[in-house]
Amino acid sequence: MKKELLMGTALVTTLGAASVAEAVTATMSGNHQAGVEFDSPEGSVDTNANIYDTNFTVSLSETTDGGMTISSSFKVMDENTKEDYDAGFTLAFTDGSKLDLLNAGNASGSHDISVPSSAGAEGVATTSTNVAPNGLDTGTDATVLGLEYHTASDFLVDGLKMSASISTDTGAAATGTYRVDGHIAVGATYVTDLGDTAVTIGMGFSEADGSITGTAPSSDSGGTHIGVSAVTGDLTVAAGFADVTKAGVSDNGSDEYDATVTKIGVKYVTGDLTFNVGYASGEADDHALAGDDGSDDGLDTTSASVSYAVASGVTAIIGYTSTAATDEGVDVDDGSAWYIGANMAF
């Protein structure tokens, strides 16, 4: 019996030591948003639908004896995709710099300015062949085999932070659909004060090389963007512009386009109320690989919302969006949509 007790004690002690050695700090966060969208497309029947957006994220981190922090995360969602396990690892060093490993090849996107728009979940659907973009970070194709290095704050000059990234091809064989063979990107954010106004300038550049069997693209994916945000007290005003070339688009993945995007938005907070107004205008000349059809797609979006903080972590939202769209120079998919819902975050 004595021998069994000693063996049991040793086993418990070993498991306990292993548990301590392998434990990392885990934190949880997420949200649950639910509401109703009322969609009114021109030339079609009005519809309404329940809109749900639920996210649950677990963040993991631990610090080595040398002071370096190793972190990662995974997410469980209930919107189109049920889970997101593609986060790699981030190494945060004692000098304030960081290195992202795996699925981390987009330094340009890390520095695009957030331009206010409706906080609601409404939108007017456009035809799949309309490729006019509405976002600043649209030409930054990268593969999962990438890494990104972030400098510490105040790099070279006070208020400057930069990052650079690279990714390589996955080794998959080229097919009739464009695939990315490699990608590089750089980005920078500069923060300064002008009197009572905090000004943030963000910019980025990216370029991807790709391949396809048959006709080759006339140019690969890539682009530049620049944006500025000014915050004075409770008022935020932001604007951005992007110039993009992208291959492997449209419904068959064998087209390409040249596009521009302009965005401007305003946010104002007063007490428990937040008001958002935004406008985005995108144009794209899409055509077959190495071709040029001379007809443009367009998408102009105007949106606004009012958010009310009902309680800690609970926000009620009313949003409105209207669109004016063209596909190959023909007016299509104009309309508007309303959204009424609430978001609970933790």
Whether 273 contacts 308, CB under 8 Å? yes
288 versus 6: the higher-pLDDT residue is 288
Amino acid identity of residue 42, one-letter, is E
Whether 62 contacts 25, CB under 8 Å? yes
Q: What per-residue confidence (pLDDT) applies to 12?
A: 40
Whether 207 contacts 107, CB under 8 Å? no
Whether 262 contacts 241, CB under 8 Å? yes
Encode burial over 12-31: b for 16+ CB neighbours within 10 A, e otherwise.
Answer: eeeeeeeeeeeeeeeeeeee
Torsion of CA 129, 178, 108, 298, to 10 degrees: -20
Max CA separation in the chain (angstroms): 89
Lowest mean pLDDT, pick from 69-83, 89-103, 167-181: 69-83
Amino acid identity of residue 108, one-letter, is S
Q: What per-residue confidence (pLDDT) applies to 206?
A: 92
Could you give the CA distance from residue 112 to residue 303 in angstroms, rounded to a whole number?
Answer: 20
Chain center to CA of 226: 16
Indicate whether 2 pLDDT > 60.
no
Q: Are strands 25-41 and 222-232 parallel, antiparallel or unpaired?
A: unpaired
Angle at 301 between CA 296 and CA 303, to 5 degrees: 180
Q: What per-residue confidence (pLDDT) applies to 290?
A: 67
pLDDT (average), residues 10-18: 42
User: Check: CATH 2.40.160.10 for 27-345?
Assistant: yes
Entry pTM: 0.83
Q: What per-residue confidence (pLDDT) applies to 15?
A: 41
Burial class of residue 311, CB neighbours in 10 A (0-12, 13-18, 19+): exposed
Q: Is 3 in a helix, a strand, or coil? A: helix
- Taking only the tens place, the pLDDT of each residue in 103-128 is 877 899 899 999 999 999 998 887 77
> What is the H or E stretch that residue 181 is in?
strand 179-194
> What is the H or E stretch that residue 242 is in?
strand 235-249
Q: How many CA atoms lie within 13 A of 224 on its CB side?
A: 3
Indicate whether 249 pLDDT > 80.
no
- Taking only the tens place, the pLDDT of each residue in 264-287 is 999 999 999 999 999 999 998 887
- Taking only the tens place, the pLDDT of each residue in 164-181 is 999 988 878 877 777 888
